[in-house]
Homo-oligomer: A and B are copies of this chain.
Amino acid sequence: MTRILYSLCGADESRPFSPHCWKVVLALHHKGLDFVERPSPFTKISEIEGGFSRTVPILRDGNELIRDSFTIALYLEDTYPDRPTLFGGEGGRALSRFVERFTQTVVHPAISQFALPDIHDMLGETDQVYFRASREKMMGKSLEEIRADRDAAVGSFAAKLDPVRHTFRYQPYLGGEGPLFADYILFGALQWMRITTGAQVLTHDDPVQAWFERCLDLYNGVGRSVAPA
């Protein structure tokens, strides 16, 4: 059976960077499921699987097509119940949504404040036109203005992760003694930041950085296999 993860790339296909696609990469490894990854530029996503989704990740699993990272994780959990669990039960499934919403409403906007110009520079020419227009509209300022405020945005980032940082006083992963999908949600965001910006945003003695390094090492270092910018 062919299992295909359609993900996102810039001009260099070997450096997929989408936070949402990285969540699925780790979820598939967590479940021990083989797959091939097919990264696509932004402006070619509409050509994938007959225009199935406006966004990636898209997972083809045999005859099934699934979109959206959380929906894919739920699908994997329900379809492969005998493989290691991604949620650790019903409570974990529900609370993973809170981790996702925290990441989406707090962490992603904070990273966007300094990563967007770097992402732009990684893209092919056609994607750059689309990306600049859509992101400048979203942020209400030009990529050049965002770049000018980079140091302030980087400097204010670490504090946003205080709830995570304090959790690691009690346990090595958000999921407890080992990683669960909740960890991959936050990992996706920091991996996106690492691959696109290369910025050393967290100090080496930060418990969040230590956790991120542990996540980079998972599954034969699949996360680490793409070098930082």
Question: Within the assembled complex, what's the spacing in Å between the Cα atoms of A96 and B92?
Answer: 9
Residue of B nearest to A102 (CB): B163
| B-chain residues with CB within 8 Å of residue A166 when the two chains form the complex | 101, 104-105
A167→B98 contact, CB < 8 A: yes
A94→B175 contact, CB < 8 A: yes
Annotate A83-94 by CB proximity to B: 1 below 8 A, 0 otherwise: 001011111111
B102→A176 contact, CB < 8 A: no
Residue of B nearest to A177 (CB): B94
Does A8 lie at the interface of the complex (its beta carbon under 8 Å from any beta carbon of B)? no
Please report whether the interface of chain A is mostly helix, strand, loop or mixed according to DSSP.
helix
Annotate A162-204 by CB proximity to B: 1 below 8 A, 0 otherwise: 1110110011011110001010000000000000000000000
A20 CB to closest chain B CB, in angstroms?
A: 16
A105→B162 contact, CB < 8 A: yes
A74 CB to closest chain B CB, in angstroms?
A: 11
7 inter-chain pairs at a CB distance below 8 angstroms, sorted by A residue, are A85-B91, A88-B92, A91-B91, A93-B176, A95-B99, A98-B163, A102-B102
- A positions within 8 Å CB-CB of B: 85, 87-99, 101-102, 104-106, 162-164, 166-167, 170-171, 173-176, 180, 182
